[in-house]
Structure 1
Amino acid sequence: MGKVYFLTGSNRGIGLETLKILSSDSTNTVIGTARDLSNAKELAQLAQERDNIKIVELDVSSQESINQLNSQLESVAPEGIDTFISNAAIAQTHQPALSVERDVYLKHYITNVVGPIELTKVLKPYLDKRETKQIIFISSIVGSLSNFVQISTAAYGQSKSALNHAVLTLSFELKDDGYTIVAVHPGVVSSDMLNQAKIDFSEFQPEAAKFLKDNSITTEQSASYQINNVYHKLTKEDNGKFFSYDGSEIPY
């Protein structure tokens, strides 16, 4: 029996590839989001080709946009949602911590942490309608404190550490309601985010830029690995865990 997925940031990168794979099973319904539907042409084309794809407009950095989501969900997910995949995020700078402006820190925190939490508030009544009750937060290994990666990720890395804390908090608070809530590191993925990171690092940390270049995987690989190694294998016992795309567990 198919599932209903709600996937943020599905107009490009990992999100788009994840949507393609999940919607290739016609028994699934995938609700994809885009901040600006006029710029989500490939997503719109896919939705025309596959009637199990539904599109809603959503900006996870905007509380107003999040507040308006419920009116769209009433028509596309009347019977509830099985799995919420919180994928949308930003990584706009990889400068040294003391070089990052205050507003940049705040923008990353609002988009990468507060947005997913506020979305969970809106989506919870829909998740409560189904037995699955899964929430998957796309995090990053640079958010791990006990396995600290020695490259300058500043605003992005700190926001992912905060997101990991939110995962642990929600997994504890919603455990008795039957939820399975996890964090997932998608890998070092060849995407717009990675390209910007390589540019930033090449200026002040060239060894990091080389590492990213030599160890990256494609968006298609990341999406496939995550789905096959993590999403499809999740059980209630996994609640609160932090996984890598290959299915291995990462320490917080």
Structure 2
Amino acid sequence: MCVCVCLGPQASAIEVARRPPVPCAVFCRTATVWRSLNPFWGEEYTIHLPLDFHHLAFYVLDEDTVGHDDIIGKISLSREAIAADPRGIDSWIDLSRVDPDAEVQGEVCLDVQILEGARGRCLRCHVLQARDLAPRDVTGTSDPFARVFWGSQSLETSKTRFPHWDEVLELPELPGAPAPLRVELWDWDMVGKNDFLGMAPQGLAVCIDFTCPSLLIPVRTGVSLASIRICVHPCVSRPPAPVRTDLMRPLL
């Protein structure tokens, strides 16, 4: 049994379980405690995080000598939770089950407007692009497409490996109460069912225009399994001051 520490909007369980781990997703991995249900590691790591990170995830794995490691569960700490107490976090935290529909990351940029016309109102959703999506294929990539829902209607963008769609989808308004807008991202697979990549958090009724990048969120969260005790202390490291070469020339 071991622990992997990952960084991202939401770290991907596919990348964590793959061996060897992807360097950009996995920061460190503890030693393996063999044949134990109450493992103790006592290991300490110093991780330099970018200022725009969103979550720090800890995955507990069951290491297998043959095949992929089994993921037992995970915890995810947001940047706000880590920075809330200057003393850091030192407590037991319940593990959550790793659900493929909850392992999402990245963001999508949308331009949404309500247009008035001779035939009535319609929703104009300009799907611009997405970035930092979770890899879902064995090659380490995805073939993402966006699916826009407005009430009982839906439209899709084209399937592409490079999510720069720049496509406009228009849906007419149906009679009744204002319908919520929902934008989902999926990985298209030629064989089998498509893989869920995330959903934009626009669950409110469409009443105003907006243009913004939106962090993708999962459909649902897992349930508690066991617990793991961690200790996280935030610290700020400052880069060294630049050398004033103009002041050194007179001395030379």
Which of the five TM-score ranges fits, normalised by the shorter chain? under 0.3
Higher share in strand: 2
TM-score, with length taken from structure 1: 0.23
Which has the larger helix fraction? 1
Q: Compare CA radii of gyration and give the structure with the larger one.
A: 2
TM-score normalised by length of structure 2: 0.23
